[in-house]
Amino acid sequence: MMKEITPQDLAGLIRRHSRLVALTGAGISVESGIPDFRSPGGLWTRYDPMEYASIQAFRKNPVKVWQLLLEMDATITPAVPNPAHYALAALEAQGKLLGVITQNVDNLHQAAGSKKVVEYHGNALRFVCDHCRGHHPREMLDFSHLPLYCLCGGLVRPDVVFFGEPIPPAAQKEANDLAQACGLLLIIGTSGEVSPANYLPMLAKDHGAVIVENNLEPTILTRGVTDYLLQGKAGELWPEVMKNLGN
Ligand code: NAD
């Protein structure tokens, strides 16, 4: 039976459990100025994902897909972590949290100081060749001449997982290992609509983890897998949790 909790209750749970793992999504970065995709005004309300975010679309019409990629880049590049990112980094530094599995591509967990970050959907600040996977430093790229090509002739792209592409095997393995090892899973800011990331909470639960969810609204995870729901903005609630933990 799912139960709603306060930041103070969550601090108590964190005190009583070891081996915390966080699974984060777009919602944790909203207060850093990066809109999630599904809320009103979000990218998916303006761009059809299959037309603009699938690997087939990118290879067929890269210039069109770069419209979306440039908009994402302009939003992500100046963004800085918010208190929720810093809270997870602090819990890791205190030896409570094993790591963060993030669906985000914005690098904000790393910027906040988190060391173990599983980039489940890649990282939009890195650019690679779609053909040879060679790296292309961002400062060498001229976004005014699109599309961008590698010396091998392949298309340069952000190192993110497009729709239609598999999760990088190393990230999938690390995510599975963390889910199976964890005692308390902190789900923050994900609607649970994107597969296969949305299987990780059930994997953790099947291996004995208690599941906490922090979202603005209940999601499909709330009824299916969540034990405790902390409803509200991550950037406002996590400082309260940390204060109750004595930070
Ligand atoms: P989503 O947009 O489907 O869901 C976001 C969830 O966060 C919603 O449940 C919403 O209620 C909640 N939320 C919004 N603001 C919040 C806040 N301040 N505090 C707590 N919760 C909040 O996001 P998703 O499940 O991550 O799936 C979208 C996909 O798009 C992911 O795969 C992700 O890779 C990608 N994406 C990434 C970024 C990013 O890197 N920052 C941004 C948008 C989308």
26 C-beta closer than 6 A to ligand 1:
yes
pLDDT per residue as tens digits for the range 215-231: 999 999 999 999 999 99
- Please state which architecture CATH assigns to domain 35-78+124-160: 2-Layer Sandwich (3.30)
Measured CA to CA in angstroms, residue 166 lies from 44, 61, 121, 209 at distances of 20, 20, 9, 26
Residue 84: exposed, middle, or buried by beta-carbon count in 10 A (0-12, 13-18, 19+)? buried
Q: Per-residue pLDDT for 38 more than 90?
A: no
User: Could you tell which of 24, 28, 37, 110 is best to mutate to test the pocket of ligand 1, judged by most ligand atoms within 8 Å of the CB?
Assistant: 37
Q: Tell me the pairing of strands 156-160 and 122-129.
A: antiparallel
Name the amino acid, one letter, at 179: A
Q: How many other CB atoms sit within 10 Å of the CB of residue 170?
A: 10
Measured CA to CA in angstroms, residue 189 lies from 79, 130, 170 at distances of 17, 30, 23
Closest ligand 1 atom to residue 39 Cα is: 2
Q: Per-residue pLDDT for 244 more than 90?
A: yes
121 C-beta closer than 6 A to ligand 1:
yes
Centroid of ligand 1 to alpha carbon of 161 (angstroms): 15
Residue 187: exposed, middle, or buried by beta-carbon count in 10 A (0-12, 13-18, 19+)? buried
Average pLDDT over residues 184-202: 96
Determine what percent of the chain is predicted with pLDDT higher than 70: 100
Average pLDDT over residues 228-243: 98
Say if CB 137 and CB 146 are below 8 A apart.
no
Nearest to 127 by CA among 84, 148, 165, 156: 156
Say if CB 127 and CB 145 are below 8 A apart.
no
What integer pLDDT is reported at residue 13 of this predicted model? 98
Q: Per-residue pLDDT for 27 more than 90?
A: yes
Q: Is the dihedral of CA 9, 235, 112, 193 positive or negative?
A: positive
Average pLDDT over residues 140-156: 96
121 is catalytic: yes
Residues 235, 142: Cα–Cα separation, whole Å: 34
According to CATH, what is the number of the domain 1-34+80-121+166-247?
3.40.50.1220
What integer pLDDT is reported at residue 94 of this predicted model? 97
What band does 74 get if pLDDT is binned at 50, 70 and 90?
Answer: very high
Among residues 17, 85, 109, 121, the one annotated as catalytic is 121
219 C-beta closer than 6 A to ligand 1:
yes
| Average pLDDT over all residues of the chain | 96
End-to-end CA separation in angstroms for the chain:
31
For the whole model, what pTM was predicted? Answer: 0.96
Q: Per-residue pLDDT for 124 more than 90?
A: yes
Q: Per-residue pLDDT for 40 more than 80?
A: no
DSSP string, 19-54: SEEEEE-GGGGGGGT---SSSTTSHHHHS-HHHHSB
pLDDT per residue as tens digits for the range 54-68: 999 999 999 999 999
Residues 92, 85: Cα–Cα separation, whole Å: 11
Average pLDDT over residues 71-93: 96
Provide CATH 3.30.1600.10 ranges for the chain.
35-78+124-160
Closest ligand 1 atom to residue 121 Cα is: 34
